[in-house]
Chain A
Amino acid sequence: MTVKQISVFLENKPGKLADFTDVLSANKIDMRALSLAEAADFGIARILVDDVYNASTVLKDAGYIFSITKVLAVEMPDEPGALSGIIRILGDNGINLEYMYAFTAPKKNSAYMILRVADNEAAIEALGKHGIRPVCHDDLID
């Protein structure tokens, strides 16, 4: 019911992101989704890939600092109000949302919302009561 996200520490300097994506492309790692968060001097790149094990091996060999986090991926219709509904459920159940980002899966003609919450189990239960079921990692692979 969760997907594994890889978060990578990047220095906030010109060329650092390109170096990172070069490592991924040189190892033929395809990103499903990418989100960047930045502080003054550093940033965190959060990515979803098909093969987490392979990607983490590649990143480790390249000397990157990273962590793997279980996040929720919720498929939703591409229409106004869809996102509000989901966030409302989390809010009503007192589940804090740390960050989120969206990506689309063109072949499936749908959009996914990635949600990072403090308590995955509580969020899954709350969403489940409204018939919303977060997808598994395999569901993201075309």
Chain B
Amino acid sequence: MGNYYQPEIETASREQIRAWQSERLSQQIRNVWDNVPMYRKRMEEAGLTPDDIKTVDDLSRLPFITKDDLRDEYPYGLLARPLADCVRIQSTSGTTGRRVVAFYTQHDVDLWEECCARAIVAAGGTKEDVVQVCYGYGLFTGGPGLHGGSHKVGSLTLPMSSGNTERQIQFMTDLGTTILCCTPSYAAYLAESIHERGVRDQIRLKAGIFGAEAWTEEMRHDIEDKLGLKAYDIYGLTEISGPGVSFECEEQKGMHVNEDHFIAEVINPLTGEVLPDGEKGELVFTSITKEAFPLIRYRTRDICILSHEKCSCGRTHVRMTKPLGRSDDMLIVKGVNVFPSQIETVLINKGYPANYQIIVDRVNNSDTIEVQVEMTPEMFSDSLSAVSSKEKELVDALKAMLGIYAKVKLVNPKTITRSEGKAVRVIDKRNLYKG
């Protein structure tokens, strides 16, 4: 049996979860109708009143909201409680535009910290553990979230925040840290630094809770090997609460969404249609217990797949894959959703450089996709058939990943344009969306 922080919730029957969700959703809709003008306006435009939303099944009738809406309503537009009832704000980094500010009542903070506590306990955390939190503290939710969760569990909490690797390692060895919370890239960096200093044998880590950025299974195994711990993924976003919206259990097969607080849907990003389990689409969240800053059908732009299949850990809450890409980057080729990140994964697995370009075109009313890849000395030989068979291998691997044929074009090194800053990965010549 697994470790649970709130077993009666985490292993509740699907019927029970559904009952909680229906009840809380209808209350939340009533709440936003009464207190948030934007939601009321959107519902009126859709011809809906709170009476129309009685169960989870009615959720799909409600309109979506996006990050643009959050920016338009900045800072107080989406508040559902008087400011006097709020005790905290957290904020996004604002790298993609105006910051988004999220408000919390004390109750909101408590529930959020409980979600993080579930993640820590799932990773084997108890009151005996020493939890080192090296996520940033401050406006970023990473530090405060795991910090609060660790308190709830009763673990000894080291509020390190990010950076100062020397001090991180010193506390880790001196105080016998058993659970490490940070971004996967910082975990990898810490692992390197620990090996360089030759203090690997003084490390007592058993688990790591790593999130807030994309990472691969290879990276997971690498960190696990180097630090001798089990690495757990955690997912969250400031808009919904912070880390702990979903978290991995010991099975490491997807992250359980805390469904008693957040309803997850996966939709076709173009049509808004709700997709069944196993289908890849954009993740949408509705926060049904949030008091200060409830979001209804918030489009995350993260692409993932949901699974309600029973998990061996005993938890009944739906699992999501780690984000497979961003809906902003999605291409539709021959009716199939294609993400540049999928192509990148295949290239890296096959030993090609991650510098590539995807060219989508339409020839004789049929879509074509070409992946230009830079040739490497390792892939090359004097034999045409050897090079051609490597090329064919790549075509087959892409077909297995994407489900459609993509032409591969091997090009000379350094011929793919390296733009300043963000790389131009996709050139769509179809002009489908221009007048």
A44–B379 alpha-carbon span in the complex (Å):
13
Within 8 A of B (CB), among A29-68: 37-39, 41-42, 44, 46, 63-67
Residue among A10, A42, A98, A99 with the highest chain B CB neighbour number at 10 A: A42
A46–B383 alpha-carbon span in the complex (Å):
10
* Contact residues in A for B384 (Cβ distance below 8 Å): 37-39, 44, 99
**Which of B26-34, B39-47, B411-419 lies at the interface?**
B411-419
Within 8 A of A (CB), among B368-407: 375-377, 380-385, 387-388, 391
Look across to chain A and name the residue whose beta carbon is closest to the beta carbon of B412: A11
Tell me whether B409 is interfacial, beta carbon within 8 Å. yes
A39–B392 alpha-carbon span in the complex (Å):
12
Nearest chain B CB to A42 CB, angstrom units: 5
Tell me whether B139 is interfacial, beta carbon within 8 Å. no
Look across to chain A and name the residue whose beta carbon is closest to the beta carbon of B411: A11
Residue among A10, A39, A116 with the highest chain B CB neighbour number at 10 A: A39
Main secondary structure of the interface of B (DSSP, over half): loop
Main secondary structure of the interface of A (DSSP, over half): strand
The answer on a CB contact under 8 Å between B387 and A65 is: no
The answer on a CB contact under 8 Å between B413 and A41 is: no
Residue among B376, B382, B414, B415 with the highest chain A CB neighbour number at 10 A: B382
* Contact residues in B for A5 (Cβ distance below 8 Å): 382
Question: Would A69 and B412 be within 8 Å (CB), given that A39-B388, A42-B387 are in contact?
Answer: no
The answer on a CB contact under 8 Å between B376 and A65 is: yes
Contact of B387 among A39, A64, A98, A116 (CB under 8 A): A39
Look across to chain B and name the residue whose beta carbon is closest to the beta carbon of A64: B412
Tell me whether B410 is interfacial, beta carbon within 8 Å. yes
* Contact residues in B for A66 (Cβ distance below 8 Å): 377, 380
Residues of A within 8 A of B (CB): 5, 7, 9-11, 37-39, 41-42, 44, 46, 63-67, 69, 98-99, 116
Some 8 contacts from A to B, beta carbons below 8 A apart, are A7-B380, A9-B380, A9-B387, A11-B415, A39-B384, A41-B409, A44-B382, A65-B376
Residues of B within 8 A of A (CB): 375-377, 380-385, 387-388, 391, 409-415
Known: A64-B412, A67-B380. 5 other contacts (CB 8 A): A7-B381, A11-B412, A46-B382, A65-B375, A65-B376
